[in-house]
Amino acid sequence: MVNVPAPLRQHVRPMIFVTGAKVAGGVSLLALNVWVAQHLSPAAYGLFAIASTASLLVDGVIGSAIDAAVIKHTDAAPSATPSTAERAGLILKLGAGAALCAAAAAISLIVGVAAPGIAVLSMLAGTGMLALRSVLVYLQLRERFTRFAVIDLAHTVARWGFVVGGLMAAASSTTAIAGFAAAAWAVASIAMLGITQRPASSREERGRSDVYAVSRAAGIALATTAVGAIVARLDLLLIGAFGTAHDAGIFGAASTIALAPTWLGAYLAPVFSARILPYCRDQRLQPLFRTVQSGLVILAVVGVAFGAVAGPALIERLLPAAYAPAGAVVPVLLIAGAAGFVTFPLVLHTLLFLSPRTYLTIDLASLPILVPLYVVAARQSGAIGVAWVTAVAVLVKAAIAHTTAAAVVRREQARCANVQTLSTAIS
């Protein structure tokens, strides 16, 4: 029988639930994109792909920032009733979604789009996913991971149902993205019915001050995630601008496979993020951090070794012969994928909570270095050159983040220990 370390033992079951639901959702989304492409013309599918990607970016960038602020302002053991911070987070998400929908409508009227309404539907889908995230964070904070997984899987099933049903009724990119929006809103609305909604006590009724506190805390996290999202897609954007379309296609195909470990790391994050602040206060974060990161590093090294052999074979098996050069790019990008896998579950949110400016500083400092490197690599070496820039950049960033997070954890736990010692001495 496998001997699971004590700091990890209580996380194994929720990790299985959450990771299973997230992996199923990721695989399902990939399969759904293939199915949609089979039922739409290339031009129509292109509109759908852009719109769905935009909605996922809205969910990822805005949702991650506000959720981090909500978690930071919620008690370690919240009651069944949503906290004022959670309510404020939902208000901010819906407000941001409404603003994006209005902006999308205005831009569509001014510029004009091939499929009227698709931009608004894209933002509406993103807003629905933001609302759904609020439900998932509510469950995450109360460690109700079984229900978390069930709702996440329900969204996956609903997305298939609404998108397929829409395309069967009318084969267009507009109906497909409308299915995205309908699925998110339907599941979020039903899930919210199961949340206790007792009136807040007089102590909890802080109204605007809670919205202000959460929005202020979300500001740095929003800047971090927004800049981080740009830096993360800088390689593909610049190879498209300064390389060739062929190189961009090769790089994109390779990154789809090689960066899968990063997605897995992101899927593991909900298991740990809500525990960071309570564990820090209880002097348990440092052993958890050490154990989790050691395990992730070992898995990452093994994964890179395996992927370096299996990746090129997978490219050859799944893609046409024209994509053969991607086989050489996959092992290089796997380094970046493994670094993301090590960083996302615990390091990222530890820094967002305890040292929120760290990631923003790293990304802003790296931009003036990365842009010329990517331009030169795209022009002279194509996909393989850009891949090496990405691999080295992500690896260096992960090393800095890990070292900083470890130091921050030691510092914060020492501060908490001093406070407890002082309290004991006074009493």
Can you tell me which residue has the tokens 């190879």? 239
Give the pLDDT confidence score for residue 399 in this predicted structure. 93
Can you tell me which residue has the tokens 């996380």? 11
pTM above 0.85, yes or no: no
Please state, as a whole number, how many other Cβ atoms lie within 10 Å of the Cβ of residue 136: 23
Cβ contacts of residue 321 below 8 Å, gap of 6+? none
DSSP state letter for 203: T
CA distance 161 to 56: 18
- CA-CA-CA-CA dihedral for 76, 340, 266, 298, to nearest 10: -80
Give the pLDDT confidence score for residue 130 in this predicted structure. 93
Q: For the chain, what percentages of helix, strand and coil (3-state, to nearest 5) are there?
A: 85, 0, 15
Give the pLDDT confidence score for residue 13 in this predicted structure. 63
Helices marked H in 233-284: 234-242, 245-258, 260-273, 276-281
Q: Which two tokens stand for residue 122?
A: 């894209």
Q: Which two tokens stand for residue 236?
A: 């593909």
- CA-CA-CA-CA dihedral for 135, 201, 215, 346, to nearest 10: -50
CA distance 427 to 83: 31
Measured CA distances, 65 to 11, 59, 136, 217, 355 (Å): 24, 10, 15, 8, 14
CA distance 97 to 133: 13
Give the pLDDT confidence score for residue 65 in this predicted structure. 83
Per-residue exposure over 292-322, b if at least 16 CB sit within 10 Å of its own CB, e if not: bbeebeebbeebbeebeebbbebbeeebeee
Maximum CA extent, the chain: 75
Cβ contacts of residue 152 below 8 Å, gap of 6+? 18, 21, 22, 25, 136
Domain locations in the chain as residue ranges: 13-219, 233-427
Q: Which two tokens stand for residue 177?
A: 């993205």
Give the pLDDT confidence score for residue 116 in this predicted structure. 60
Q: What are phi and psi of 90, to 5 degrees?
A: -65, -40
Mean pLDDT, the chain cut into blocks of 10 residues (427 residues total): 48 65 76 69 63 79 84 73 84 91 84 69 93 89 83 92 90 86 93 68 50 71 72 75 72 74 79 79 84 91 88 75 80 92 88 83 90 94 92 94 90 69 46
CA distance 344 to 393: 16
Give the pLDDT confidence score for residue 423 in this predicted structure. 44
